[in-house]
Amino acid sequence: MKSFYITTTLPYVNAEPHIGFAMEIIQADIIARYKKIQESDVFFNTGTDEHGLKIYQVALAENKTPQAYTDELAEKFKNLQFLLGLSEDLRFIRTTEERHKKATQEFWKLCEKAGDIYKKEYKIRYCVGCELEKTDSELVDGRCPIHSNRELEIIEEENYFFRLSKYGKKLLELYDTKLNFVIPDSRLNEMRALIERGLGDFSISRLKGKMPWGVDVPGDEKHVMYVWFDALVNYISTIGWPDDMDKFNKYWPVVQFAGKDQVRQQVVMWQAMLMSAGLPPSKQIVIHGFINYEGQKMSKSLGNVISPQEVIDEYGVDALRYFVAREFNQFEDMDISREKLRIAYNANLANGLGNLVSRVMTMAEAHLKSPVTISEWEDMSEYFGILEKFEINKAANYIWQKIGELDSLIQEKKPWESKDKEIITDIVTKLYSIARCLNPLMPETSAKIKSLIKDNKKPDTPLFPRKD
């Protein structure tokens, strides 16, 4: 059996889970489920990033210890497994776990041994939201364009640095030799341009006296690790590195799903860190865009945030998974609204898939004496080929094309008039094929349709009731 390892980024636990991360983890879950259908041994990882200045400040503002604060929020992210209908064997790692802290310290030692860690005095403008230094070229009107609602902080102190400047040429060689390393290509081109402008070394520690919430730097009790150096190591600590090398070698390298604000960290910084530690690069990195609401970035201050819980309460978990798979642009920024979701739901789920299932199974129950015998094998290579390229939007469109074709066939053959058992059997078989395709995207709906076919029963209630 082949092994396959896929991971999301680890979201900060400084706020409630939002629909942007729900999109990322649902996309990753779709690929994980597809790989399991392919009889792969899948390791699917997510978790929480719990160190850093941003979390430290929020915890103090709420009069809580950072550990108590992160314990509360981590549970809410862990519960996404059940809320979003994710794979039951999803692995969840917290960067405050002892196994992760130990792995991070061992990773630090390898980079230090390679001559890539050094200490110096420095002064920077720092975005707490991004947990990154910001240069003039990255600012808009003196602010971070992603977190323009907050002032940049000026940090002036002695820190440890990672020698990123050493790895520009090696990174470009990696990009040249690893086909489809980053999807879409445009994101990799951004990183090529960044490297060609010249890479600067980046800070990987903070003074414990100013910001004590982090993993201790080996051999220096005055410093804790900077959040990015700590968090990125989760991709290997979760699969046993460095204690269980058999497990690590079984699953590594990884396919990473991440947002467009993570490209530099995942494609440049993390790959250089792996090179420094003498470890192979990631397998592939799949980058998604941002979700905006009615032309504006979602913001609590604007009151335009849509939570995954809100969508599920209104439409159900598989409807949210449908929105992510088909209605949300996978690779670019997208604009949504409550009205757009309602229109898409009614058109494609209530009037589309739901109505189709009801029509087909009503005919089957009325005119077939027993359930249709379904072959265990079906050639799904065309559909699987789409998912193999991580093209989730295209895979969803493929399914809805099949739904449209089956609707057209029913209109053409009019089996409710002819009562032709052979035609009805063929239609039911085609519906089962659609249910098979739905399995990675909408597993609950897939299971319901298969059950109706195996019982030769029409649904007692609509799979997707209309929303007016």
Contacts of residue 321, Cβ cutoff 8 Å, sequence gap at least 6: 26, 30, 84, 85, 441, 442
Question: How many residues comprise the chain?
Answer: 468
CATH of the domain at 410: 1.10.730.10
Looking at the structure, tell me whether residues 196 and 271 fall in a common domain. yes
- The 10s digit of each residue's pLDDT in 362-407 is 999 999 999 999 999 999 999 999 999 999 999 999 999 999 999 9
CATH of the domain at 29: 3.40.50.620
- The 10s digit of each residue's pLDDT in 135-171 is 655 677 778 876 676 778 777 788 999 999 999 999 9
226 versus 36: the higher-pLDDT residue is 36
Is the pLDDT at 271 greater than 90? The verdict is: yes
Contact 254, 46 (CB under 8 A): no
**What is the reported pLDDT for 16?**
79
Looking at the structure, tell me whether residues 256 and 130 fall in a common domain. yes
Asked if residue 416 is part of any domain, the answer here is yes
Asked if residue 462 is part of any domain, the answer here is no
Looking at the structure, tell me whether residues 374 and 236 fall in a common domain. no
**What is the reported pLDDT for 204?**
95
Q: H or E element: which one contains 167? A: none
**What is the reported pLDDT for 122?**
79
Looking at the structure, tell me whether residues 138 and 220 fall in a common domain. yes
Beta bridge partners of 3: 41
Looking at the structure, tell me whether residues 271 and 348 fall in a common domain. no
What is the percent of the chain where pLDDT is above 90? Answer: 81
Q: What is the largest CA-CA distance in the chain?
A: 84
* Residue 339: Cβ-neighbour burial (10 angstroms; 0-12, 13-18, 19+): exposed
**What is the reported pLDDT for 215?**
97
Q: How far apart are CA 327 and CA 340, in angstroms?
A: 9
**What is the reported pLDDT for 355?**
98
Q: How far apart are CA 31 and CA 8, in angstroms?
A: 12
**What is the reported pLDDT for 126?**
72
Looking at the structure, tell me whether residues 181 and 271 fall in a common domain. yes
- The 10s digit of each residue's pLDDT in 209-236 is 888 999 999 999 999 998 889 999 999 9
Q: How far apart are CA 241 and CA 113, in angstroms?
A: 18
The beta-strand segments (E) located in 249-333 are: 255-259, 284-288, 291-293, 296-297
Hey, is 27 helix, strand or coil?
helix
Please, where are the H alpha helices in 157-214? 168-177, 185-197
* Residue-number span of the structural domain to which 368 is assigned: 338-455
- Residues 324-328, mean pLDDT to the nearest whole number: 97
Contact 295, 335 (CB under 8 A): yes
Hey, is 46 helix, strand or coil?
strand
Phi, psi of 386 (to 5 degrees): -70, -45
Q: How far apart are CA 272 and CA 128, in angstroms?
A: 23
- The 10s digit of each residue's pLDDT in 332-343 is 999 999 999 999
- The 10s digit of each residue's pLDDT in 302-313 is 566 788 999 999
Hey, is 150 helix, strand or coil?
coil
Is the pLDDT at 195 greater than 80? The verdict is: yes
Is the pLDDT at 300 greater than 80? The verdict is: no
Please name which of 166, 165, 196, 194 lies closest in space to residue 267, comparing C-alpha atoms: 194
Looking at the structure, tell me whether residues 343 and 211 fall in a common domain. no
What is the residue-averaged pLDDT of the chain? 93
Q: H or E element: which one contains 294? A: none
**What is the reported pLDDT for 373?**
97
Please name which of 290, 235, 291, 275 lies closest in space to residue 103, comparing C-alpha atoms: 235
Asked if residue 71 is part of any domain, the answer here is yes
What is the percent of the chain where pLDDT is above 70? Answer: 95
**What is the reported pLDDT for 303?**
62
Query: Do strands 255-259 and 216-217 pair parallel, antiparallel, or not at all (unpaired)?
Result: unpaired
| Number of domain units in the chain | 2
Looking at the structure, tell me whether residues 42 and 177 fall in a common domain. yes
